[in-house]
Amino acid sequence: MSTATSEPGLRERKKAATRQALHEAAVRLAIAHGADRLTVEAVADEAGVSRRTFSNYFANKEEALLYGDHRRIATLVDLVRGRPAQESAWTALAGASDEYYEQIGVVDPQWVAQTRLLRTEPALLVQQVSTFAALEQELAGAVADRLGDPVTARLMAATFMTAMRVALHFWLESPDETPLRDLARRTVAELGKGFERENAAP
């Protein structure tokens, strides 16, 4: 009985490990040789799996490269959903941002290298926009649970993601000047002022 219940968990962990291995292989090769020279076959070989196995996890090399971004934003959505119910929507977003940067601690140099690479590869930027758009909808859903207004929730989610992106891009240009967490806190606070005024009690 216990074996039957534990097997699905083990299977899912193995699948997650394979997906992560493919992502890491794609990032290593892209950083070493350039994303334009990256192939699905090379990623599969680097991760020690077949081309068919790669296709079971990712549709293309761009998706494999951006899997880290997908996980990070999905984590952020989960943190928003886990914030105290009495918090306003924007307070929950700001709190989730703080939690997220507290969890990751020191920024992974590989992630920094990958993010800088994205800024120079048009094909990756197109895929990134698509990835962020899908996850932005999930974030809007989490916000709508607090607001009950899907239109404002969508606007708020888009505004929040803009604040996070501005902080990241500014930090990539001057990583030694201000910690990324502090920049994110500042941009989120600045863009949130309008929402906070609107929701303030008269």
Q: Give the pLDDT score at 202.
A: 44
Q: Identify the helix (H) or strand (E) that includes residue 50.
A: none
Q: Which domains does the chain have, with CATH numbers?
A: 2-61 (1.10.10), 66-199 (1.10.357.10)
**Measured between alpha carbons, how far is 100 from 2 in angstroms, rounded to an integer?**
35
Closest to 80 (Cα-Cα) out of 163, 157, 162, 17: 157
Residue 15 in tokens: 């699948």
Within 8 A by CB and 6+ apart from 131, the residues are: 63, 66, 69, 70, 73
Sign, CA torsion 173/171/131/20: positive
CB atoms within 10 A of CB 109: 8
Over residues 11-33, the pLDDT tens digits come to 888 999 999 999 999 988 988 88
Asked whether 185 and 79 are in contact (CB, 8 A), the reply is no
Q: Give the pLDDT score at 84.
A: 95
**Measured between alpha carbons, how far is 47 from 23 in angstroms, rounded to an integer?**
9
- Mean of per-residue pLDDT scores for the chain: 84
For the cut 60, the answer to whether the pLDDT of residue 43 exceeds it is yes
Lowest mean pLDDT among 45-54, 113-122, 193-202: 193-202
Tell me the CA distances in angstroms from 134 to 8, 73, 169, 171, one per residue in order: 27, 10, 21, 25
**Measured between alpha carbons, how far is 56 from 34 in angstroms, rounded to an integer?**
24
